Structure 1
Amino acid sequence: MATDIDGTLIDDERRISRRTIDVLTAVPAPVVLVTGRPLRWLEDLYDQLPERLPAVCANGAVIYDPHADEVLRADPLSSEVLLDVTRRLRDAVPDLSLAVEIEDGRSFRHESTWPLRFTDHRVRVISTPAELTSAPAVKLLARSASADPDDFLELVSKALGGVAEATRSSSSALVEISAAGVTKAAGLAWFCEREGITADQVIAFGDMPNDLPMLTWAGHAVAMGNAHPAVRAVADEVTLTNVDDGVAVYLQKAFNL
């Protein structure tokens, strides 16, 4: 079983319910988290779980074993590709703000125009534009202060011209950019092959466009009741919303728990 975190497994207060915890513990199948979150954002969820679950992070760019505290695989954007991509975006987007997830997602660097909603010693503003592209990044983030979220994703995707992957998981005009070929589906497929699991054995849950590759790849795709219309369109089934324990409700019925 593969599940997204935000908007899917947890509620809008970033809490995982007791019901969901109990169901995840009882499911007679391996469970893997597949998330757009960087590695450093897993701790708040792990603190709520009785057992740490393996995770495909940064939309497939980082695969993490929490028991060994080991990154099993990382597929970052190279400095050369970052330089190309940032040039393309600056030409295409007038009110652009950029940031990067580096060190496998353990650190975050951003431009001074980037809106920060929290403080963290792992987060730092860059001193020069060159610093943004000086090291490989598991994710480049691009934000517009004025664009429609779906329109902004389309604009960024067109500007990239296939040199990198663009997706989004936010309700704002925030696009997440990964190396070419890096998606939740690619990361999950690598993990499943390592574990001897085939796509047809996987039930996947998601709610936003960054979940689309995973849901298309999995043998059975379940959209949350709060999912983006594009996600609902590709899903085999739709469950309840994240605040109504949609993942737990579906699994209880599927496995007679």
Structure 2
Amino acid sequence: MIASDLDGTLLRNDGTLSPRTLRALRTAESAGAEVVLVTARPPRFVDRLAEAAGLVGTAVCSNGALVYDIGTRTVVSSRALPLATARRVATALAAAVPEIGFALETGSHVLYEPAYRLRLSEDIDAELPVPSLADLWLTDLPVTKLLAWSDRLDADALLAAAEEGAGGEVQLTHSGGRGLLEISASGVTKAGTLSMLCAGRGIDATEVIAFGDMPNDLTVLDWAGTGYAMGNAHPSVLAAIRTHTLSNEEDGVAHVIERLFGGTA
């Protein structure tokens, strides 16, 4: 199995999948490897990528909260963040970080309160404002992630503040977004969900080749038989993972696949 993150890893900086990387993925699949996307992104983003590149198969989305069948556009399994837990964590973070804003990711939409001013142009159709922070907790939609955003702290500093104030109750990580913290239910990680997926397929960790660039990828890169940190990876990832490849702009994933499975640039 090849397990790859998307942003900053499989995709170039403009969000596209290069022809070389797409050819490499096809080569690996022809050789019998399954390609699984393992991403912080929700299914709706995977759908857009799949339409553009003709991808099928399985994706682990929302940092492990969802397993998604790309071909049928079906959530196969999910691990939701309890709304009461999200509210308690948000309360603790708000006390520690002034002017922090919050949003709830549901997989299909992002509900956000006024202090959450982060906007993603590619996600504009999925963003739903609510009048106040209190209204955020009235949703009856299942929550895959609590998003916390600050324009004062970078993601690493925000993560440190959250670990001190609320680290024991949830899974905290980030994927490099400016001042953006991603909060999942306790125990939900990319690696945990991928390992369950592999167990169901009879695939051992030693048979998995993984690629990633951000702290939320570390669990997968540690768990897989071979984990590759991208050349453009976060410093903590480059320090923790011994095996590196080229950057995403240099088609680092394709570079490894071509060496392992054949194929040319």
TM normalised by structure 1 equals: 0.95
Residue ranges of structure 1 left out of the alignment (5+ in a row): none
CA contact (8 A) 2:212 2:230 kept: yes
Q: Is residue 2:57 matched to residue 1:53?
A: yes
Which residue of the other structure, out of 175, 178, 190, is the alignment partner of 2:184?
A: 178
User: Partners of 2:150 and 2:5 in 1: how far apart?
Assistant: 25
User: Partners of 1:171 and 1:65 in 2: how far apart?
Assistant: 26
TM normalised by structure 2 equals: 0.92
Q: Counterpart of 2:208?
A: 202
1:20-40 deviation line (CA, Å, top 9, x unaligned): 011100102000000000111
Question: Could you say if the C-alpha distance between residues 38 and 51 of structure 1 is closer, same or farther in structure 2, counting changes exceeding 3 Å?
Answer: closer
Q: Cα RMSD over matched residues?
A: 1.4
**Pairwise CA distance, 1:113:** 2.5
CA contact (8 A) 1:220 1:236 kept: no
Percent identity over paired residues: 40
1:111-163 deviation line (CA, Å, top 9, x unaligned): 11222243634311112323322343100110111113212111112211310
Q: Counterpart of 2:135?
A: 131
Secondary structure in 2 aligned to 1:55? Answer: strand
Q: Is residue 2:261 matched to residue 1:238?
A: no
User: Partners of 1:66 and 1:73 in 2: how far apart?
Assistant: 13
Q: Is residue 2:167 matched to residue 1:165?
A: no
CA contact (8 A) 2:227 2:243 kept: yes
Residue ranges of structure 2 left out of the alignment (5+ in a row): none
Hey, which bits of structure 1, 4+ residues long, moved more than 6 A? none
CA contact (8 A) 1:140 1:178 kept: yes
1:227-246 deviation line (CA, Å, top 9, x unaligned): 01111123241110000000
Q: Counterpart of 1:149?
A: 155
CA contact (8 A) 1:83 1:133 kept: yes
User: Partners of 1:160 and 1:13 in 2: how far apart?
Assistant: 34
CA contact (8 A) 2:27 2:262 kept: no
CA contact (8 A) 1:99 1:141 kept: yes
CA contact (8 A) 2:27 2:261 kept: no
Which residue of the other structure, out of 21, 31, 36, is the alignment partner of 1:32?
A: 36
